[in-house]
Amino acid sequence: MPEGDSVYKLARRLDRPLLGRTITRSDFRVPRLATRDLAGRTVLEHVTHGKHLLTRFSGGVTLHSHLLMDGSWSVTGPGKRLPRRMLPDVRLLWETDSGHTAYGLKLHQLDLVATADEHRVVGHLGPDPLRADWDAAEAVRRLRADPTTPLVSALLDQTRMAGLGNLWANELAFLVGRSPWTPIGDLDVEALVRLAAKALRHSALVEGAYQVTTGVGTRGEDHWVAGRAGKPCRRCGTTVLRDVPLVEDPANRVTWWCPHCQPGPGPEARLPHAATRREV
């Protein structure tokens, strides 16, 4: 699943061909928005909050979208079109006065709202380190609100701190040297928030650092535990373990950890009844 740094980098890629351009043709291919038309409006900015993308247009209108697991955007240059095999996945199409065409593929949670009402679609989210209004103290307060919540479940809850997905939750648990199921109240939450914010910013803003947690950008060597089940821990050599997710439970996704470097509770301490908690 794309994480906050993924969506932030996507927004910057969309800036290049779309920012300041006027929509000449607008085609929404989802029933709820099929009659809406953005033609004549200018793209003012792409703003992110956690994993959510907000595209603001002239006239005080915002398109809200979420990639979830399989969504993506593609922009083609003048005279070019998306390959035919991808057309069934198109949920929106915008042609612009520059000749570029933007395609939203398999996008989720598509909403058109007044820019002044963006809180209706992202107001539930916690502070985001990639936003100018980042509030570390508020993130700490929210993470501490239920001190019994397991570490990875707390980090995945976007209402506490926005932008951290499963990769970052697992890697941060390793970096602080605690079991993924350690109660969040047992940690130095201020230090955890500082580390998480630094990691997310570094990943989003530094060239070549995208989601590299080990400091080594070579594929297969860029993560400590995520995706490394059955392989030796890079730090101690102990076999990295993997726990399967609980179906339809966003607080208990697939988890990787080193039992030697990350002492503490095992998966038997997974948060029960967590499906009501919000990951998105």
Give the active site residues. 2-3, 51, 253
Rounded Cα–Cα distance for residues 263 and 176 (Å): 11
Handedness of CA 5, 7, 13, 19 (dihedral sign): negative
The residue among 251, 253, 129 whose CA lies nearest residue 193 is: 129
The residue among 154, 210, 223, 234 whose CA lies nearest residue 186 is: 154
CB-CB contact of 176 with 199 (8 Å): no
Residue 79: count other Cβ atoms within 10 Å of its Cβ: 7
Amino acid identity of residue 95, one-letter, is E
Rounded Cα–Cα distance for residues 256 and 227 (Å): 7
Rounded Cα–Cα distance for residues 66 and 56 (Å): 15
Q: Which residue matches tokens 């992110």?
A: 48
Handedness of CA 177, 180, 186, 189 (dihedral sign): positive
